[in-house]
Amino acid sequence: MQAISNLAGLLLFVLECLLVLVNWMAAIQNARNRRRGIGRHVSGIALVPQVLMLLAAVSLNAARTPWLPVWLPFVVGALDITLLRMLLVLPRVILKSSSRHG
């Protein structure tokens, strides 16, 4: 059971890392397109890496001796550009909408 928990946690962590990498690549591509004047937009995958982060941490925590530190999925999930954008842009949008209505 311990090996299954570790393997599941490792696979979920790798998938989380890949999605975070894809999100960063999408953000870089959007910046390049904007600089070149191209109107195309590449969307990131929002909140899916954070779900994988939680599942990986729970799975790793279930093992007596985890193969990866349990905190590692949280660090990678926190570095996701879609999460950072939501945390930075959301207060600005809320403040703008409240100043228009109030």
Residues in CB range of 39: below 8 A, 6 or more apart: 33
Q: Please, what is the average pLDDT of the chain?
A: 92
Report whether 13 contacts 76 (CB < 8 A): yes
Per-residue pLDDT at 102 exceeds 80: no
What gap in Å lies between CA 27 and CA 32, rounded to an integer?
Answer: 9
Share of the chain above pLDDT 70, in %: 98
Q: Which of 53-57, 82-86, 96-100 has the lowest mean pLDDT?
A: 96-100
Per-residue pLDDT at 23 exceeds 90: yes
The predicted model gives 35-64 an average pLDDT of 92
Q: What is the pLDDT of residues 61-78, one digit of tens each?
A: 999 999 999 999 999 999
